[in-house]
Structure 1
Amino acid sequence: MVCAGVYVVDQLTVPEQVAEPDLLSLIPPTPDVPPVLAAPAAVDSAPSPEPEATGAAEPTEEAGESEEPAATSPTRRRSTGTAPGGLPWRSGLVIGTQSEVDRWESYRGRSIDVVHGFTERGSWEGIESASWILSAWADSPHAIVISQPFWPEGSGGSLSECASGGYNANWARYGEALSAAGRTDAYTRLAWEFNGDWFEWSATDVGAWKQCYRQVVQSVRSTAPGARFEWNMNAHGSATSDGDAWKSYPGDDVVDVVGIDPYDHYPASPSAAAFDEQCTDSEGLCSVIDFARAHGKGVGVTEWGIINSGIGDNPVYVEKMYETFLAGADVMEYETYFNEDNFSTTLDQGSNPESSEVYRRLWGG
């Protein structure tokens, strides 16, 4: 079954004892949008695509930077079916508190299956403990997606230090936190939107980026065996990653979910044809779905939505996203809507009535 979710950033609140994450910096200056779907076409050119951590596994040799990851026989494949909320995939929201979930569920008339949160990423303590997310949601029946950077922002971290194992001990402690909370089933969305140039962890050095990703995953799994990871790109265009997000694919053994953030902009999708064209682009949602099928992976769409940097209220985009999720339901792991007033992505506050009507009709109970 698949998971669906939503992002609620404008009113994000977290337990008072824990620093509130800065979610408003999550949307990139130029996010992208996915195209419409009619069974995704095959990906023509898929990806060419701490020091003392006890028990941290040695990184395995990475695939060549310009090589396309070999399509292996699927080692995991989700089975089709119905998620607890009733949709053919897990659907949810980017959140902070239970009240935000209650509000969204009341708005759309259907319960959610997954919550997506960002750690307080300014310190290793916030990253290692994922404290506000695990304290609020560890006992929840929902699937959990946790967005994590490679290192604390503003700390002087680097891809080269990460790639050499410099942060392995820190990541082993994050694995311990997942194990202690009983949530090794959580999905860690690691160094998201790496192919843009707005985050410190951007793939400015593809080889180092892939090795860093592998070091982190292996270190977390040294203390949380079976921990799951989402490799997440920004849709439709790469400012880094040598101009091609797929070149930074780190390998099937360290990826459980192939993720993409396809906002309705750069360019927007005013028609079904425009959506389809973008969706089948090499860095479009349909291509991600095809790649996941070929590699036995799930698909995560952890940020998506209409947005003021596109054409705003756009029911065509919302309907096409639904069709795409439905056509990819056999591999859809989860999707979470980004509901944020500052970027006019909100659907539940009356500012985008046409998109809201379509969403409630298609996602509602």
Structure 2
Amino acid sequence: MEALLRESAPRVLGVLTRRHGRFDECEDAVQEALLAATLAWPADGLPANPVGWLVTVASRRLTDAQRSDAARRRREEADVALPAPGPVPDCDDTLTLLWLCCHPVLTPPAQVALTLRAVGGLTTAEIARGLLVPDATVAQRISRAKARIRASGARFTEPDTDERTARLPAVLGVLYLIFTEGHTASSGAQLARVELSGEAIRLTRALHAALPGEGEVAGLLALMMLTDARRAARTRPDGALVPLDRQDRALWDPAAVAEGTALVEATLATAVPGPYQLQAAIAAVHAEARRAEDTDWRQILGLYELLAALAPGPMVTLNRIVAVAEVRGPEIGLLQLDAAADDPALARHHRLDAVRAHLLDRAGRHDEARVHYRRAAERTLSLPERRYLLERALG
């Protein structure tokens, strides 16, 4: 049911916004309809038309919002029966909704947070973990973003060419974060949430079809395909995490690898390299190696140096340091990690301790490594990651 609601939410919001305008009120109504579904469907069973059910309930919530509190309570009490599904258009408004959430009246952080909520269906807590910011900050960004869109009078229509160019970086950032949360869930018992990564790939593929000449759109799609190609090899049958260097590469999806590699080669030959193209190129280098020990780490380090200059960030820093350690030795990597640890965005993140433990292990300092594996395990909210880190601490 959770997957169905997550998949249905953007479509329901698109239908309501197209019919009624008032994006902010429609988004609130959709959230209430989703809550109503979580209460009604387990007891009454799934409706024959779930999207129609949600559209009907959300539409009623929009009407109820105009009434007094007492009238609203009476109406909600009368809503215990399953409502008849309303007509739902065949068109998919998800991309239009994506462009609206990345409206230029919003700051980039607000664009990302709102789109992850409205289009990606992520909760406030999930968005906060993905952005490495407090929950309250995300909630405030979403609330202010909806108010700004309403005040701007923005229309629910496809943007023109100039508008698309201005909004594209935010759209790509949103799709990247949705995919990342799906590929490695920030919390919970499952390592991956395929419904999120699959939706991110679907939207990016649609965006690439609409904008075939945009190198960064192609680069992002390539990065997703090359990363998702490893999904079957990332966990053992019991759900435990398998790191990249220990994966059975025969389980990697050759069709996804071929598609991603072809996209990388085509876009690097014709477009100015951007952050997503560089990340895709790094993933392609990993894909080219038949064995982990065959990986061309010097080429990967060179690509990370370019990426760090073009789009610096805490995760880029950690990944570059891993590449440095592979090329120049773990002790050099540890020295650079000490300098990076001053970054507030990394100070409490479990990956800082995980990378430190990995480098200490490679340097033969196993007792120190165990301390940091345990500390990383305590800080992660992902159960598969915690299990893996604890196994390394005991090993």
Give TM-score, length-normalised by structure 2: 0.26
Q: Give the TM-score of the pair, scaled to structure 1.
A: 0.28
- Structure of greater relative contact order (alpha carbons < 8 Å, 6+ residues apart): 1
The structure that has the greater radius of gyration is 2
Q: Which has the higher helix share?
A: 2
